[in-house]
């Protein structure tokens, strides 16, 4: 798995998005050490693909403040 800083990822976003869409997993690290992993959506098991708002409703309690 490739690891990048947020700066590196944003600097060449199109290139990395192409790589992710082609199956590569990329760990993107924040300056404070937190990280996320970008993976192709096809690898996720989405429980609701009907277009309903169930996922949004389930997570609407998240407070961004």
Q: By the 8 A CB rule, do 24 and 2 touch?
A: yes
The tens digit of pLDDT for each residue in 1-45 reads: 999 999 999 999 999 999 999 999 999 999 999 999 999 988 877
Q: Which residues pair with 27 in a beta bridge?
A: 3, 37
pLDDT per residue as tens digits for the range 36-62: 999 998 887 765 555 555 555 554 554
Domains, the chain, ranges and CATH?
Answer: 2-43 (3.40.1620.10)
Helices (H) and strands (E) in the chain, counts: 3, 3
Q: Are 15 and 21 in contact (CB under 8 A)?
A: no
């Amino acid at each position: 798995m490739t690891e990048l800083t947020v700066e590196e990822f944003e600097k060449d976003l199109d290139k990395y998005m192409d790589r992710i869409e082609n199956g590569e997993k990329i760990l993107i690290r924040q300056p404070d050490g937190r990280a996320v992993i970008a993976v192709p959506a096809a690898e996720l098991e989405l429980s609701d693909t009907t277009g309903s708002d169930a996922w949004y409703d389930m997570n609407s309690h998240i407070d961004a403040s």
